[in-house]
Amino acid sequence: MKVIAGNSNRPLAEAISAALNVPLTKASIRRFSDMEVFVEILENVRGEDVFVIQSTSYPANDNLMELLVTIDALRRGSARRITAVLPYYGYARQDRKTGPRTPISAKLVANLITMAGANRVLTLDLHAGQIQGFFDIPLDNLEGAPVFVRHIQETTKAGEQLVIVSPDVGGVVRARAIAKRLDADLAIIDKRRERAGVSEVMNIIGEVEGRRCILVDDIVDSGGTLCNAATALMKEGAKSVSAYVTHGVLSGGAVARVSSSPLEMLVTTDSIQATEAVRVSRNVRQLTIAPLIAEAITRISEERSVSSLFN
């Protein structure tokens, strides 16, 4: 097995490498003067089972090109099998036509990864399940739920009543799965989105008064939806509100918005490398997914079941 790290999230790649007890393969990933990506694999990969770890987070286009060029370099270096490990799959929110003459960029990115030479993909909490069908190669979609469930159990006081809250109707399946693991009740936020990036909370479906509310989602970008939901829950008498979100995009002033909101804590994974604002924030935390991804990589390499990780 060979493990190669792109530049998008080096700390996570190093943690995965340590968990696997496999050193990162030496590679040079750099830019020409006009910012073209150049990749050179500095070790022999002929006949090897290679895993390329690269989130397509900000800057999304640069990191995507790094991934594609690295895969091409490995294919031309005669790697036996190439697995693209994307802890965060960028462009996933563009998974359908939202109006006339708009793209389905999630499908385009799937085509690019496949045509570059990847044999399979390993990712975490896709924004929409149907994206798995955009690939004509095997894809394993890991769940961040076990990591979150463990942390929620560790931070819940004895006798405290929990309710898992979906911030929108589309996230009900994800929230219900976590509620079932925790044997907790489920609530749903009914919101109306007037335009992209702006949401308005309308109604809360479920009993939240006097309870510790846990908002669950896959991506937090501007933070507006979560902050509005937290405000609405507190108005309905919630004891406290925390949020567990797999991918902390947290663009623009999102961290400041979360810090000034009623959210007691926003917990994300390290699928996207933490910015300085995240590191110093009073109420934003990161949990590592390195052991989970390392175990999945081991099982893929040994041709064992990945889905049984979540049974």
CA distance 86 to 123: 5
CA distance 189 to 203: 6
β-pairing verdict for 120-124 and 139-142: parallel
The residues that are catalytic are 191
CA distance 130 to 139: 12
223 marked ligand binding residue: yes
10 marked ligand binding residue: no
CA distance 288 to 177: 20
217 marked ligand binding residue: yes
pTM of the model: 0.92
Per-residue pLDDT of the chain (311 residues; tens, 9 = 90+): 999 999 999 999 999 999 999 999 999 999 999 999 999 999 999 999 999 999 999 999 999 999 999 999 999 999 999 999 999 999 999 999 988 999 999 999 999 999 999 999 999 999 988 999 999 999 999 999 999 999 999 998 888 899 999 998 888 999 999 999 999 999 999 876 666 555 566 689 999 999 999 999 999 999 988 998 999 999 999 999 999 999 999 998 999 999 999 999 999 999 999 999 999 998 999 999 999 999 999 999 999 999 888 87
94 marked ligand binding residue: yes
So what's the architecture of 2-142 in CATH?
3-Layer(aba) Sandwich (3.40)
Write down the CATH number for the domain with range 145-287: 3.40.50.2020
17 marked ligand binding residue: no
Residue boundaries of the structural domains of the chain? 2-142, 145-287
3-state helix, strand, coil in the chain (%, to 5): 35, 30, 35
Within this chain, domains 2-142 and 145-287 share the same CATH topology: yes
Q: Are 118 and 71 in contact (CB under 8 A)?
A: yes
pLDDT for 255? 94
225 marked ligand binding residue: yes
